[in-house]
Structure 1
Amino acid sequence: MMTRKRLVRGLLLGPLILAGAIQSASAEPPAPADEARAPAPPMRLFGGMGKEVKISPGEEKVLFERAGAGTLTHMWFGGDWPAWGDTRIRIYVDGEERPGIDMALFLGHGIGWGNDAAPWGTNRVGKTGRPSGVYNTYRIPFGKGVKVTATMAPSVRDPQVFWWIVRGLTDYPVRLGGITLPPSARLKLHRLDKVRAEPLKDVTIADTPARGLLYAVTFEAISDNFNYLEACLRAYPNGAKEPVWMSSGTEDYFLGTYYFNAGLYHNPVAGLTHCDPDRPGSSYRFSAYRFHEDDPVPFQEGLRLVWRNGEELDGHRYGDPKPTTLTSYVWTYEW
């Protein structure tokens, strides 16, 4: 029997904080009723695709490039080779030399440990084939231009055939839940790769000084038991010294329970994309995603997110966590 949580923590975002973020992110006040309003510019569709295009080992292949302003709204990828899920997708916005989004193909869509389960899908991410058919509808705004590239994993030694679709719109307002983001908002990925954490060690998975909103979180972890899932996720918005408690456990944050004992699930808010059995001889691996579109987490003067390997609260240690290796993807809209 696993250790049960004994404490209840308030999971509250102050209404003044949320109201401030919504006010800062909303559109400009409407013009007076008696003042003529200029019509909104028409949205224009743009996009591109690749069909059976060869990518060479070590090549950073440009999949799509466009100058000007707009928003990417859809990407789909297809292929079939060993380590296909480790293909690196990079998105350069507004002339960035270092991409603000640099993701492994599977983990960038919430899929860990190369799990090939399919078909499944939500409005934001999914995998429809075995293999292949990975898609997203992330809203990725840009002001001066955008470039999307792909590079195969270093272990791939031969050219491979790749398929892709990239599509978007001009003059498309980006909304997170009911909040309209300012034109300067940009989607950023904060990534940790294979960080080893000792028992009860705090791991900062994101730390930004900007203003913005948390968008999504993906975890991939492995250990010698599942007691690391006892960890409560902590948020420190605006330089706070005390945390806002984001969960009563790691599986709880991803909307699971009892160490994910019901198996894999995929829903619009959260999903469990891999989970080893909770029994002796297991590798105790899991991967999961969580979106915050309808569960806003705003910040005005920075945000720090902290995960702990296991948990200890008020002198009580929950279970016996072992050294754990964590990969985390934290997505934020910042401006």
Structure 2
Amino acid sequence: MASTTTTTLVIVLSFLAAASSDVGMPFGTGLSSWKLTTQELEVFNHTIVSPGSYGVMSHFWITGHNDFPSVDEVVFRYYLDGEEDASIEFTPSVACGVGFDDDKAPWGTAWFGKGSASGGWFHNFKIPFQKSVRVTAFHPMGAGDGFYIVVRGVENLPVVIGGVTLPPTARLHQSRLVNHTFQPLDYVPLVDLKEGNGMIFMSTLTVQSGNLNFLEGCVHAYTPYDTPFPGMLIATGTEDYYNSGWYFSAGQFHMPTTGFTHLNTTNGVTWSAYRFHDMDPLPFHNGIRFVWRNGDAVDPTTGHKCFVQTGGSVVGNPTESVVTFYTWVYVF
């Protein structure tokens, strides 16, 4: 008679074999000492040929020299399923939650990071597609060589976010705004999806402002889409959203789900941060508005911040802010 340990081992190995058989073949490429130009060039393409299969891009990495042009500013685009306008567009640094060419390294989480003083940016975001993917790159500042790039994916790879296995037909939607100016107390639309169901995966935010009072801004989620103000209060201030406090009084950090990645107060303020929602899922139904405010105000009748939409007593002296954000959202 087989022992309990042997029987258990057989069951576990059988489960792993069944699970691995469901996952298809990997695909991808690497480019060594590649020359980038201002013209959009194809890095990689892949088409699913097996009936009933789908693909998931699962890894991205780039490095290069410190010479102009900077590897941080390369623009990558992912065209999914034959679309004419790319679903996904990013620069490596901002995709990893870092603004203003901050080259602090090494650091990383399971999802992304930076492993080299020059470049070394990587992310393991899961980008599903049904038929095909085409990855391109260009450098808006000029031509240069010495770039090294790897992109990779797997067919039929399950996408699991926050313990939830997404349907194979899920799409990764990217809400993106680059160098847009917002006035004090403006609401910044990190996500604006009028319909559909899904989950917010992560966001990166960079801000250039006159002082740090933009950090008073609260974060709200409205789902369904037409939910009235104040919706669900996600954070009582900007640093609170990143699990810190008191204007990030402990300094910069790179933690598994949140990071405060850049701060310079030499001439005004430049600042950046990231936030994942894989450990604390943020699903939505029938659309979502996900907003952050450039500074905030206190309701004089209650003394509470975040619950006055117009008017109130402004906290500090927030100024005009130039904002870039990427918010990555799975829709299904």
Q: TM-score, normalised by structure 2?
A: 0.84
1:113 deviates by 0.7
Query: Which position in structure 1 is the counterpart of 2:30?
Result: 49
Q: Aligned in 2, Cα 1:321/1:184: closer, same or farther, shift over 3 Å?
A: same
State which of 190, 193, 201 in structure 2 corresponds to 1:215. Answer: 201
Structural mapping, 1:1-335, within 5 Å: 41-55=22-36, 57-68=37-48, 69-80=54-65, 81-153=68-140, 155-156=141-142, 158-208=143-193, 209-239=195-225, 240-242=227-229, 243-277=231-265, 282-314=267-299, 315-335=312-332
Any conservation in 2 of the 1:260–1:275 contact (CA below 8 Å)?
no
Distance in 2 (alpha carbons) for counterparts of 1:148 and 1:235: 32
The offset of 1:39, in angstroms, is: 9.8
Secondary structure at the counterpart of residue 239 of structure 2: helix
Distance 1:269 1:38, change over 3 A: closer
How far, CA to CA, are the matches of 1:82 and 1:159 in structure 2? Answer: 6
Report how far residue 43 of structure 1 moved. 2.8
Give the total of aligned pairs.
293
Match of 1:21 in 2: none
- Percentage identity across paired residues of the two chains: 37
Deviation at residue 248 of structure 1 after TM alignment: 0.9
Q: What SS does the aligned partner of 2:235 have?
A: coil
List per-residue Cα deviations over 1:161-188 (Å, max 9, x = no partner): 2111111211111010210101110112
**Which moved further from structure 2: 231-240 or 202-211?**
202-211
| Change beyond 3 A, Cα 1:170–1:38 | closer
* Structure 1 residues 49 and 38: CA distance shift in structure 2, 3 A: closer
- Measured against aligned partners, the alpha-carbon deviations of 1:131-170 in whole angstroms (never above 9, x if no partner) come to 01100010111110111111112x22x3322111111211
Extract unaligned runs of 5+ from structure 2: 1-17, 49-53, 300-311
Q: What is the DSSP-based 3-state SS (H/G/I as helix, E as strand, rest coil) of the residue aligned with 1:285? A: strand
AA aligned opposite 2:270: R
> Does the 8 Å contact 2:215/2:237 carry over to 1?
yes
Post-superposition CA distance 1:225-278 (Å, at most 9, x none) = 10110000111111211311110101111222221232221111011110124x
Residue pair 2:202, 2:275 contacting (<8 A) in 1 also: yes
RMSD: 1.8
Q: Does the CA-based 8 Å contact 2:79-2:85 persist in structure 1?
A: yes
Could you state the TM-score of these two structures normalised by the residue count of structure 1? 0.83
CA–CA separation in structure 1 for the residues paired with 2:207 and 2:21: 46
CA distance in structure 2 between the aligned counterparts of 1:193 and 1:212, rounded to whole angstroms: 24
Distance 1:38 1:236, change over 3 A: closer
> 1:326 Cα shift?
1.0
Q: Which amino acid aligns with 1:73?
A: S
| Runs (4+) off by over 4 Å | 37-40
Q: 3-state DSSP class of the match of 2:269?
A: coil
Local SS of the residue matching 2:24? coil
DSSP 3-state at the match of 1:259: coil
- Give the structure 2 partner of residue 10 of structure 1: none
Aligned residue type for 2:100: W
Larger CA Rg, structure 1 vs 2: 2
SS at match of 1:252: helix
Separation of aligned partners in 2, 1:308 and 1:41: 44
